[in-house]
Structure 1
Amino acid sequence: MLHPPSRLVEVVAGVIRDARGRVLLSRRTEGRDLAGLWEFPGGKREPGETAEAALSRELHEELGIEAEVGAELIRVPQAYPDKRLVLDVREIRAWRGSARGREGQALVWVPPHKLASYAMPPADRPVVAALEQADRYLVTPEPGVGDEDWLAALSASLAAGMRRVQLRAPQLANAADAQRWARLVAAAVKRCRAAKAEVLINGDLALATSLGVGLHLRAAQLRELSQRPIASSLPLAASCHDADELRAAQALGCDFAVLGSIKPTPSHPSVLGIGWEAFAALRESVSLPIYAIGGLGLEDLGEARRHGAQGIAAIRSLWAPV
C-alpha cells in the first residue's frame, strides 16, 4: 500500500510575513506530537469549515491576529505513523494585531532564505521549498545537429524565467560524442550561471564534479548508491517512479526528486500516466520537494501544487524555440 490505512487529518496553515519580509514560525509545545519542531502557524480544519474560515479562526486563537487569507501556496499530503495528513497552506495577504503565542508556544520571525535551517515536521518541509525554489524544472532536449541553435534556445528559455535546469542528452552523451557534449555542457553552464539559474547534469558525476554543478541521478543510478555522491553544497536530484525510489532518494540526501509520468507524452502517447491522485499518494511517503513530469505545461502548475508538487518538470513545454 502507498500509505497506512489510518485516519485523515486536514490542517490549514498560513505564510505570515512582517514588514521586513520575514516569515513567522511557531514551535510545537511539549506534550504534542513532534514537540519542539517549528511549523507554519495554523491548525485543524473542523467539519463543515472552509479552509479560509478555519485558517482565520486558528490564527486568531493561536496568535491573536485578524488575518486576511490569500492565495493557495501548496497542499501537502503526508503519511505519519498514526495518521494521514493534508497540509493546506495559504498566503496571508494582510493581518492586524500583535502576533503572540497565546497557547504558550514560542514564535520566531525568519528571513526566507534561512527557513530551511529550522527543524520542521515532514509536511512543512515542502512548503519551504515552494516558497524559495523554482516551480519549473527545465529538462533540455537533444541538441540535434545545431549546437548554436540549441544554446540559443537555452538562452531564450533562461530569458523566459527558467531558474532550474537539467542538462540532458542521452543520445549524445555516449563515447563517440562525449567530447561534443562536454563542450556543449560547459557552454550551457556559463549561460545558466550568468542567468543565476541552478544547473544539474544528468547522470554524469565526473562532468558535474569537474564543472562544480549539480547532479541529476537516473533511477538506475539511485539504486546503486549508498551515500551522497556529491558535496552537500551542490544540488542533487533523482528521477523516481515509485515509493521505494522516492524513499531511496530521500535516504541518499537528494535535495529534490522528479516523479511521473503524470500524463501520456508525445514521445509515448500510448503509455497511460499515473495521474494526479497516484502522484499525491506517492508524495505522502517522503518530505522531499517533488516535481511532477510527463505531458505537463505551465497550465498544470496550479493542479501540481494542489497535489503536493513543487511544480512541473518538462522538456517541450518549457523549452523556448528560436
Structure 2
Amino acid sequence: MPQLVRSERVVEVVAGVIRDARGRILLTRRTEGRDLAGLWEFPGGKRELGESPEAALRRELHEELGIDCEVGAALIDVPQAYPDKRLRLDVRELKHWRGSVRGREGQALAWVPPDKLARYAMPPADRPVVAALLQPDRYLVTPEPGADDAAWLSALERALAAGLRRIQLRAPATAPERWRALATAAVARCREARADVLINGDAELAASLGVGLHLRAAQLRLWTQRPLAQGLSMAASCHDADELHAAQALGCDFAVVGAVRATPSHPGVAGIGWDGFAALREAVSLPIYAIGGLAADDVAEARSHGAQGVAAIRGFWPAAPAA
C-alpha cells in the first residue's frame, strides 16, 4: 500500500467556490508545465507569507480571473499529501464577486452545474470539496433496536424529520429475520425522506433492498472489485492508512474514520484526536466522516480538519419523547 508522505513541507493554498446567476460553479484547468496539468480545480492559489486566507483569495482571483470578490464562509480545509509536499487547501464560499471572468493566465474555464462536478478529473485535494458541496455533513449510524421495533422506527422518523439525509442501518446483535423486516421498513422511510441509506456489512441484504452498503474494516479484504452496482453508495469504516487505501481502491464513495475522541462504547481507549484524523485524511482523496464522541456541534471543527462531516450514533439518534 502507498505510504503517507513524510515531507514536512506544507503548502498553504486557498480556493473559492464561485457561482454564476444560474447556480453553476466555476472550475479552471491547470495549464501545461504545472503539476497535475490538465486537471480541473476550484480557482485560487498559494498564500504568501504573512497573508490572510481572505486577502490571498481576493488577490489570486483578481490575478487569475480579473474579478473582485467578497470572501464568505469556510467550506472545508483539506490536508492532502503529494509525493513532494503536503498541501492544505482552504476553500471558501464567495459572498459576492464583480467583473467579467476570463482566464488571464491562459487557463481554460468551465461553468459546471453542481450535479456534474464529479465528472471532472480533479487533483486529489479538490475531490473532497465536491462532496462537501453536494453530500450530507452528518451520517447517522443506527443503534440496536432493543425490544421495541415500533419505537426504533419512530426514532428513525424523528431523525429524518430533523434533517438527517445519510443513514447507516446497523444492528449486528439483532436476529437476521427480525433485522431484515426492520431494515425493509426503515429503507421505506428513508426513501420517503429522500435520504441516502446504507446497510452495514450485509451485501446480500443491501442488494435485495436496492440500497447502499457500508463495509466493516475487516470486509475490505474480502473483495477485489466493488461488490455493489454503481449509483448506490458504498462506504467503509477505516482505522489506518492501509484500510483507507483499500477502501479507495475498492471504489468506496466515502469512508468513516475514528474514534476521534474516547467513547463510552470503548472505555479506556484514547481517541486519535483531530491531528491524528488529519494525518489519515491526507492519505487519500476520499470524502471522510469523523466518528467517535461527536455530534452536530462538531461539524465545523471536523470540516476544518478535512472531514466531510460527522458520523455518530448517540449524537444523532433522537431521545425518546417525554411521557
For residue 166 of structure 1, what is the aligned residue in structure 2? 168
For residue 124 of structure 2, what is the aligned residue in structure 1? 122
Distance 1:242 1:207 in 2: 27
Distance 1:233 1:152 in 2: 28
Distance 2:17 2:46 in 1: 16
- Tell me the SS of whatever aligns to 2:7: coil
Counting only pairs closer than 5 Å after superposition, residues 3-82 of structure 1 correspond to structure 2 as 3-82=5-84
Q: Does the CA-based 8 Å contact 2:5-2:85 persist in structure 1?
A: no
Q: CA deviation at 1:33?
A: 0.6
* Deviations, residues 140-162 of structure 1 (Å, cap 9, x unaligned): 00000000000000000000000
* Deviations, residues 191-225 of structure 1 (Å, cap 9, x unaligned): 00000000000000110000100000000001222
Distance 1:268 1:125 in 2: 32
Q: CA deviation at 1:76?
A: 0.3
Q: CA deviation at 1:226?
A: 1.1
Q: Does the CA-based 8 Å contact 1:3-1:281 persist in structure 2?
A: no
Distance 1:213 1:149 in 2: 23
Pick the aligned partner of 1:231 from 218, 229, 232.
229
Counting only pairs closer than 5 Å after superposition, residues 217-256 of structure 1 correspond to structure 2 as 217-256=215-254
Q: Does the CA-based 8 Å contact 1:26-1:41 persist in structure 2?
A: yes
Distance 1:269 1:99 in 2: 55
Q: CA deviation at 1:87?
A: 0.3
For residue 263 of structure 1, what is the aligned residue in structure 2? 261
Q: TM-score of the superposition, structure 2-length normalised?
A: 0.97
Q: CA deviation at 1:270?
A: 1.7
Q: Does the CA-based 8 Å contact 1:156-1:321 persist in structure 2?
A: no
- Tell me the SS of whatever aligns to 2:289: strand
- Tell me the SS of whatever aligns to 1:52: helix
Distance 1:269 1:93 in 2: 45
* Deviations, residues 147-197 of structure 1 (Å, cap 9, x unaligned): 00000000000000000000000111xxxx211100000000000000000
Unaligned segments of structure 2, at least 5 residues:
none
1:106 aligns with 2:108: yes
Distance 2:217 2:201 in 1: 10
Q: Does the CA-based 8 Å contact 1:216-1:239 persist in structure 2?
A: yes
Distance 2:149 2:245 in 1: 37
Letter in 1 for 2:35: D
Letter in 2 for 1:7: R
Unaligned segments of structure 1, at least 5 residues:
none
Letter in 2 for 1:3: V
Root mean square deviation, CA, Å: 0.8
